[in-house]
Structures are given as C-alpha cells and as structure tokens.
Structure 1
Amino acid sequence: MTTASSAPLRHRLGRALLRRVPLLGALAGILLALWLVSVHDVGAVASAFGRVGPAGLAAVVLVRTLILLLCGFAWAKVADASGIGTGPFLLLRFVREGVNVLLPVASVGGEVLGGRLLTFWGVAGPLAAAGIVVDLFFQVIGLALFALAGALLLAQVENAQAARLATWCAEGLVVSAIVLSAFFAVQRLGGAGAVERRLAALGRRFLRETAPSPDARPGVQGALDTLWARSRWCSLMQGFCLHMAAWLLGALEIWIALKCIGVADVSFAEAVVLESLSQAIKSAAFPVPSGLGVQEGGLVLLGALFGIDADTALALSLVKRVPDVVLGLPSLLLWQLIEGRRSLVARPRGEVG
C-alpha cells in the first residue's frame, strides 16, 4: 500500500531522473560514437575527412548558414504577430541551433531558450511560446514530408534491404502522422494549457530558473488562436514552404561533402535519401543531444545501400558536425551577449486577451 510519504519521494525521484535524461542521452550517444569509431579504420576515416579540404568545409558551412537563415525567416513568418521584424528571429534561430547541437538539452532546450529570449524584444511570453510551438510544428511536418520523399526514392532501389527499410520508414511515418495530427488538435482545440505548463517547467529546468518568468502567465491558447487566425494562413504557408526548402537544402550538404571526399557517382536523389532518413532517425532519438552516435550510425546504415563504405560514411558525419561547431560556438556567445543586454528590453507587447 502506498504511503503519503512515499508518493512525494517517488515524484522527486521521477523529476530527478527526468532532469538527467539529456545527460544520459549524451552519455549513450558518446558511447555509441566511440564504438562506431573503434570498430572501423580511424586512419581511413581521417583520410576521407581530409579530402574534403578547407574549400569543401567552407561550402558545407555556407549551406548550413543558408539553411538556418531560411529557418529564421520561416519562424518570423509563422510567429511574428508583434511586429518586431525579422532580425530577432534570424539571430535567435542561430542561438536555438547552437544550444541544441552543443549543449546536453535533449534537442529541445534551444526552443525553450529561443522563446524566452524573444521576450527580450518586448514580445509577450505567451505569444513567444506559441510562436515556438507553431514553428516547431511546421518544422516537424516538413521533416515528415522530406522523410516520405526519401522513403519513396529508397523504394526505387533494387535491393531487398532497401525495400525493408523503406517499409519501416513508411510505417514510422504513419505513426508520425497520428502524433502530428494530435499535436495540431491540441493547438486548435484549446488543449494548450498542458503545453504551457510543460514549457514553463522545461524553461525552469534547462535555464535553472527557480520561479516562472513574469511573462509566463496564462494565455498561450489565446496566442495560438492569434497565430492560427484565418487571416494569417498565407504567412503560415510561406513559413512551411521555407522549412521545406531548408530540409531540401540540407541534402546539398551531403552531396557537396561526398563529391569532395571522392564519391563521384553520388546523385542528388541519393543525397536526399541519406539526408532525409538520417535526419528522421536523428529526430526519433531526440533525447540524445545532437544525435551523437545516432547520426553516425544512420549514415553508415544508409550509405551501405548506395555502396558507400562505413569509413566514408563516418567521415561524412564528421563533415556535417563541422558547421555545428563553427556556427554553434558563436551562437552561444551571442546568447550570452543578449543576456547581458537584458536591461535594455522594452515593455512586453503583443499581449493576447
């Protein structure tokens, strides 16, 4: 029989375990990455990575920069109901990415932080939170459609293993469609109260705040209704299209890297399969920060279907990690700069009644 004293203890233990999920995910990812490296030829991986060269790495970083700019414009399109302009969304999109790829925050800390920092430009807390929710929804919808395109292209490969993988991807996408439909229903049918409480809890956990922000008062559902208003559907669709363009542009990263490594016969369609399905695998393992080990394993698995050896696939993953660091470190410094200028924040606007 459960006693009154044991219930709070269980709750405290559950919260403590939940707080450690990102760290546990990071540890699991590091171990997986180390195992993948240990069972393959490190010298061959380093040689393949070296063939990319400074010019190839610069091109990959440039493509990633364009991707994040597109995502920033998309966020502004779906979330800017306060009239603050595009600039803050572009800056904070880089911060969101830097936090997600370089800190142990289970790939959601960047979104929580991005919503919080947006209030520094005078956006009301509920509206900032709602904007993050809608932007993330369109981003995930875009990834699901991108993964569907990858699965359809993979199904054309005359390979039994490719056919099985395409079938598994299709089954996973059916589940994703159900989850995304439920997520949309929560936003549109007045179920955002729970979302609001979870966002506030995540913010306090990841940002080590002991009390809710003054802007974290009820109103997320009203803000969601504002963003989903019929008059804004043109902006919402523009944001969605920008996210789709960003996902497709990600395939260019892989195509450039493989060409530089020396895989001359890779087609852009094959790059789409590699990028779309590796990103889907990485997203499914969201508790692992930046998909450590998961991205590498996914590219090894998928690359084998197109005759790409494991050493080359691991080198490809390393190339994709370069923009994470090159763009992520300045983004973390930008975050600290913004925090330091918090005293210059204007009064919140865009309140939703």
Structure 2
Amino acid sequence: MKRLLRWAMLPAGIVALIAFVLHRGVHDVVAAIDQAGWALLWLVPFHALPLLLDAQGWRALLGGRASLGFLWWVAAVREAVSRLLPVASIGGEVVGMRLARWRVRDATAVSASVIVEVLVTIGVQYAFSALGIVLALTSRRGVGIESIALGLLLSLPLPVLVFALVKKGGWFQAFERLAARMFGASHPLTQGIGGANLDAALDALMRQPGTLLRAFAWQLAGYVLGALEVYWALALLGEPVTIGEALAIEALTQAVRHAAFMVPAGLVVQEAAVMAFASMFGVGMDAAIALPLIKRMRETIFGCIALASWQIAEMTRRQRERGASANATGDI
C-alpha cells in the first residue's frame, strides 16, 4: 500500500509541475531556454565527470579490483535505475552489485563495498549540505536557511547511530539466524545471505579509516564538480552567478531532495527547491524555472543512455553464454 501511494505521487507531481509552468507562462520559460541554445546539451556529457569521481571512491572501497572505466559505467546505470525506474530507493544499489560481479567474483566484497559506500554517501551529503548552508549565510542571502540548518543538525544523530551500529558488526549473522528460524536453514534466502562472511568484510572495511577518507574525498569532489552544472546552465541562460552561489544552490537543493526521499525521483520537490534557492541568489524567475527543467532534461537523457547501454550489455552477455553453452554441448 505504501509503495502504491508513493508512486501515485509521481503523476500528481508531473501535473503540478506542468501547471506551475503554464501558470508562469510557457513562452517566457521557452524563450529563456532558447536563449541558451544547443549549448545546453553539453551538460549531458559533462555529468560523466562528477560520476567518474564517484566511481573512483567506490573503486577505493573495492581495493582496485575492477577498472575505473567499468565501475564508472556501473555507477551510471545505478544512478539511472534509482532516478528513472519505479524501484525502491536501493534499487540502483542492487543492480550495481549484480553488474559489479561481472568483473569482481567475490560477491561478499562487492556487497560490503556498496553498503559502506552508501554510508559514506550519507556523510558526504551532510557535509555538502553544510557547505551550502555556510555559503548561503556568508553571502547574506540566506534568508530562512536557518530552518534547513536546524533540520540538518537535528537529523545528524540518525546517520551517526547507523554508522556506529554497522561498525559494531554482527547484523547480517543475526539476520541470517532470523531468516533460518522463519524460512528454514535450507531456504535459498537463508543460504544466500552469507552473514558471517559479509560481517567480516564490512568489519575489515570499517577498520580502514584511510580508505573511508579517500572514498569520502572522491565523492565530495564529485558533488562539488557537479555543482558546476548550475553555474554553467545559469551562465547560458543569461543569469550568471558566482561559483560559490552555484555551490550553495546545488547543495541546498540536494539537502531538500534527500530530506524528501519518499517522493519518486524528488519530482517537484527538486524543482521547487532549485527555483527557490536560485531566486534567493538573484536569478530571474524565468531562468529559475528553466534551470530545474534543464537539470531534468540532462538527467533523463544521460539516464536513458545508461539504461540502454545496460540492456545492450545484458543481451550481449546472454548471447555469449548461449554460444558458450552450445559449443560445450557440441564438444560432448
């Protein structure tokens, strides 16, 4: 029922977004985008750069067991699945673990790296949001930012608690025992957990502060670089802002979007946040409305390309497996 209600919000959000643009005036918004021209399409390949830094952070947690190029592709697919497909919030991570095993045979190491990466990402999101709040306050434009800062501060104990619990360890063994009592020791779910090995792998990663710090630094660098999308887009729209202001707009938007994680793809929430924060930094309303539409355009195009490449890779892999199976049968 919760899942149904969650996805029922998607068409409602689309309708609300369209209604707002119509109310403001489609002609003015289109004119702002038209002023920027085809140069806006450069934002699509540009997104590959922050994603590359994010993949490097994941590679650090994997101990360099896969190439950066391969992990970059998997990261692109993970992001596209989470943002464009009707899956739960961890849907992209599940797909990412499956794809990573094409090159990294140790399933336990892959699972542990993704779990720890999610924890690192939470920390990065808090740090990036705090950076945005500081930049907004120091620019003397941060009217009403205090409430966001307070919300961020009050919610901080939750991720700290989660991090402490994971560091303590033993949770997947406990889950394995619970599954054995519920379904029986011979059930595929129980046998597929491998709680002891996963807990050991997680414990090993959590005892490597240098590795965690490198993953954190790479991810944070990716977030900062990704904020240049706002800087570039607004410059093309004829409403330039400073790099610090672009960082603040992106960071505060990310803070609001992650706070509203129950909304599919952050639809309307992200758009409203971008418009509000862009306007706060003196961006004209037409450009402020056009900016989130441009960000959605980039997200959709980049994500569709990633999803298409995933399907092509899956079909190619299945064909090779069938060919290998046919050859093995013929040899017999």
TM range (shorter): 0.7 to 0.9
Whether 2:270 is the aligned partner of 1:263: answer: no
TM-score (norm 2): 0.84
Corresponding residue number in structure 2 for 1:20: 4
SS for the counterpart of 2:143 is helix
Pick one of 273, 298, 301 that aligns with 2:276: 301
Whether 2:54 is the aligned partner of 1:71: answer: yes
Corresponding residue number in structure 1 for 2:169: 190
Whether 2:77 is the aligned partner of 1:95: answer: yes
Runs of 4+ in structure 1 off by over 4 angstroms are 194-197, 211-215
Q: Give 1:332 shift.
A: 0.8
Pick one of 93, 96, 99 that aligns with 1:114: 96
Q: Give 1:151 shift.
A: 0.6
Matches within 5 A, 1:20-99: 20=4, 22-58=6-42, 60-78=43-61, 80-81=62-63, 83-99=65-81
Distance change (3 Å), C-alpha of 1:104 and 1:312:
same
Q: Distance in 1 between matches of 2:72 and 2:189?
A: 26
Distance change (3 Å), C-alpha of 1:35 and 1:175:
farther
276-285 or 234-243: which moved more?
234-243
Distance change (3 Å), C-alpha of 1:178 and 1:336:
same
Listed as ranges, the gaps of 5+ residues in structure 2 are 180-187, 322-332
Size of the aligned set, in residue pairs, is 309
Distance change (3 Å), C-alpha of 1:336 and 1:195:
farther
SS for the counterpart of 2:282 is coil
TM-score (norm 1): 0.79
Matches within 5 A, 1:285-300: 285-300=260-275
- Maintained 8 Å contact 1:68/1:94: yes
Q: Distance in 1 between matches of 2:158 and 2:84?
A: 27
Whether 2:212 is the aligned partner of 1:236: answer: yes
Give the residue type in structure 1 aligned to 2:54. Answer: C
- Maintained 8 Å contact 2:130/2:149: yes
Q: Give 1:296 shift.
A: 0.8
Whether 2:200 is the aligned partner of 1:222: answer: yes
- Maintained 8 Å contact 1:192/1:220: no
Q: Give 1:45 shift.
A: 1.1
Identity %: 31
Q: Distance in 2 between matches of 1:195 and 1:284?
A: 30
SS for the counterpart of 2:169 is coil
Whether 2:236 is the aligned partner of 1:278: answer: no
Q: Which has the higher contact order (CA 8 A, sep 6+)?
A: 1
Whether 2:129 is the aligned partner of 1:147: answer: yes
Q: Which has the larger radius of gyration?
A: 2
Give the residue type in structure 1 aligned to 2:36. Answer: V
- Maintained 8 Å contact 2:227/2:246: yes
Q: Give 1:21 shift.
A: 5.0
SS for the counterpart of 1:286 is coil
Q: Distance in 2 between matches of 1:147 and 1:71?
A: 17
- Maintained 8 Å contact 1:129/1:220: yes
Please, what is the CA RMSD of the aligned residues? 2.6
Corresponding residue number in structure 2 for 1:13: none
Listed as ranges, the gaps of 5+ residues in structure 1 are 1-16, 201-210, 345-353
SS for the counterpart of 2:231 is helix
Q: Distance in 1 between matches of 2:215 and 2:45?
A: 21
Q: Give 1:81 shift.
A: 4.2
SS for the counterpart of 2:164 is helix
Q: Distance in 1 between matches of 2:249 and 2:192?
A: 42
